[in-house]
Amino acid sequence: MNPLLSFRDVSFGYGGDDIVRSASFDLEGGSCTALIGPNGAGKTTLLRLAAGTLQCRSGSVVLNGEQLHSLPLSRVARTVALVPQQLIVPFQFTVREVVEQGRTPYLSFLRGPMREDRVAVDRALELADVTGLQRRVFNELSGGERQRVKIALGLAQQPKLLLLDEPTQNLDIGRQVELIDLLHFLGAEGITIFSSIHDLQLLEGNFSSTILLSPDTTLMKGTPGEILKPAILEKAFNCPPRRHPLLIERPERHVKRAG
Amino acid sequence: MSLVIVLGIAFLVSLATGAVRIPATAMLAALFRGHPLSETQQIILLQVRLPRVLASGVVGAGLAISGLMFQGLFRNPMADPYVIGSSGGAVLGACIGIYFFSQISFFGFSAIALLAFAGSVITMVIVYLLARSSGGTNVVTLLLAGFAVSTMLGYSSYLFETLGANSGQNQTILLSWLHGVIGIPRWTQLTVSGVFLVVASVLAMPMMRRLNTLALGDEYAHQLGLRVEYTRIGIILTGSLLTAVAVSLGGLISFAGLIVPHVARLLLGPDHVRLLPVTALSGAIFLVIADTLARSILAPTEIPVGILMAFLGGPFFLYLLRKTKRSYTL
């Protein structure tokens, strides 16, 4: 089976030095992959390349066996959705109005939203568990609620691949667990998940594979257990040995998620 | 729907008001029951008041819709065709037309009108490029760029006034434009403007949904499959066309394009699709009333409606600036 998304020798930089250097990896359909790495390693850039908002300088991004940059924008947007770290909405748009924008790739110049679009929006709100918030004003929500609404916006695109940029950032542990549960749920719905994440403790038991991006080494891919080794992390994150709980070797790690 | 009724009432009241009062009941009777008005009344009504009232309706709707579009485009409630210099550009374009090309016309459009449109588009593009930064616009940059550009344009129009001091008629037209006077347009001019208003409003309809998408930011809109550049160009062209229509009838009228969409948004929420018809009608109502006030407050002296709007709109704008400072972080 073809991978859903593959990076083949992708390089990209914003003018100066390349941030992403000849990255190659595959994302299998139905997988749940975490993207980790130190600040500034290019995690957000990599996600934007995967969503097609940025075009790689060399190499190619392949979606479902086709070159991403040669596909029409709206077709990419029906397959891939990117949930950004920050979503700044001017004016007092309600949650529902924001989520409705996720239907944009399905509309054309003359075709406005129809019944199936309303159904899709309802479904997205329900999946992200924000149906109760739909009449609230987006700008007045808490961080955790906003995060869920952003995911609902992505889900309204009915994507096969959902990209998330630091979804657990600024969330308290309770909201983090809720969010991880949501990702599990979406995975069970058949949506492939690729998420950058800073909180390494959330990896095991929740993600089927991990990609480590680091400025000095080549990209590594493996199961969370294979990547979360003190020797690897110390080098990738440039952290002095044994100064963080994750950097202390333990014979067996069973961080199973409750529930 | 109720707005249509309000607009009708505003029209009637405005038609009735003036040096010669023509009771609204008499007009309705003439219209529906065939009781003819006296000849004087007919002349006043058909040749003086009706064109003017219709013109103020067109101007109001045009300014309000273009204000709505520019506010959506800039993702910023402070944008308005006057504030960001679009009206100024149209006036300057029209000035050039009046002084150099007043006899020329292309396919029935006078060079004056075409230049007004071009002036408006060019100004918008300049201000937009100056004010834009990372997917949104900074309020301060937008206002400063708009202020600088519209001041420059305003004074270069005065320069034309000085240069063309010998041609009396042109000067009157120019002055009335700079002060924002809705004169008594000829019926042909009114028809052309009305057609353009309708065309531009129809063009604006499919753009409203895109303005909602653009509200999420350029990058997000792009990621959703929207062709951001084309959409922006379409919005700028349509908004400028509406501005040019309004300016060609009423000159520089400040703040109408700011207040109407803003109040509509407070009442109805920010969904542009719903706002378009409401904004258009309220804009027309608003300016019909404003123009009626402008010509009757100090009767028989007329205040240019542009000046009245500056007095009404200025404080509102300042209030908005104060409020914006708190609720939108820059």
What value does the mean pLDDT take over residues A31-43?
Answer: 91
* A67 residue type, one letter: Q
* C-beta of residue A82 within 8 angstroms of C-beta of residue A51: yes
CATH code for residues A5-85+159-247 = 3.40.50.300
Summarize pLDDT for A92-110 with one digit per residue, the tens. Answer: 899 999 999 999 999 877 7
Q: What is the ipTM of this complex?
A: 0.86
What distance in Å separates residue B72's CA from the closest CA in chain A? 9
Q: What is the mean pLDDT of residues A185-189?
A: 92
Q: Which residues of chain B have pLDDT under 70?
A: 1, 19, 102-110, 133-139, 164-171, 173, 324-330
User: What are the residue ranges of helices labelled H in A102-203?
Assistant: 115-127, 143-155, 173-188
Which residue in A53, A90, A98 is closest to B75 by CB distance? Answer: A90
Give B-chain residues touching A84 at CB under 8 angstroms: 219-220
Q: What is the CA radius of gyration of chain A?
A: 19
Determine contact: A85 vs chain B, CB below 8 A. Answer: no
Closest chain A residue to B262 measured between Cα atoms? Answer: A91
Q: Does the predicted TM-score (pTM) go above 0.90?
A: no
Q: Do B224 and A102 touch (CB under 8 A)?
A: yes
Structure tokens of B191?
Answer: 């028809």
> Residues in chain B whose beta carbon is closer than 8 A to a beta carbon of chain A?
75-77, 136, 206, 209, 212-213, 215-217, 219-227, 265, 269-271, 328
Best mutation target, B74, B202, B223, B229, to test chain A (most A CBs within 10 A): B223
- pLDDT category, A258, cuts 50, 70, 90? very low
> Furthest-apart CA pair in chain B: how many Å?
65
Task: State phi, psi for B252 to the nearest 5 degrees.
Answer: -80, 105
H helix runs in chain B, sequence order: 2-16, 24-32, 39-43, 50-73, 86-100, 111-131, 139-163, 168-179, 187-214, 218-223, 228-250, 256-268, 272-296, 305-327
What domains does chain B contain, in order, with CATH numbers? 55-327 (1.10.3470.10)
Q: Which residues of B touch A87 (CB under 8 A)?
A: 216-217, 220
pLDDT band at A230 (very low <50, low <70, confident <90, very high): confident
Backbone angles phi, psi at A7, to 5 degrees: -100, 125
Beta carbons of B216 and A92 less than 8 Å apart? no
Closest partner CB to A73 (pick from B212, B227, B271): B227
pLDDT digits (tens, 9 = 90+) for A47-62: 999 999 888 889 999 9
The first and second tokens of residue B286, run together, are 């608003």
Distance from CA of A105 to the nearest CA of B (A): 5
C-alpha distances in angstroms, B107 versus B90, B96, B120, B136, B254? 20, 19, 20, 39, 31
**Residue in B77, B213, B328 nearest the CB of A101:** B213
B206/A157 CB distance under 8 A: no
Distance from CA of A1 to the nearest CA of B (A): 27
Grouping H, G, I as helix, E, B as strand and the rest as coil, residue A62 is: strand
Name the residue ranges covered by the structural domains of chain A: 5-85+159-247
Of A123-127, A169-173, B107-111, B238-242, give the lowest mean pLDDT range. Answer: B107-111
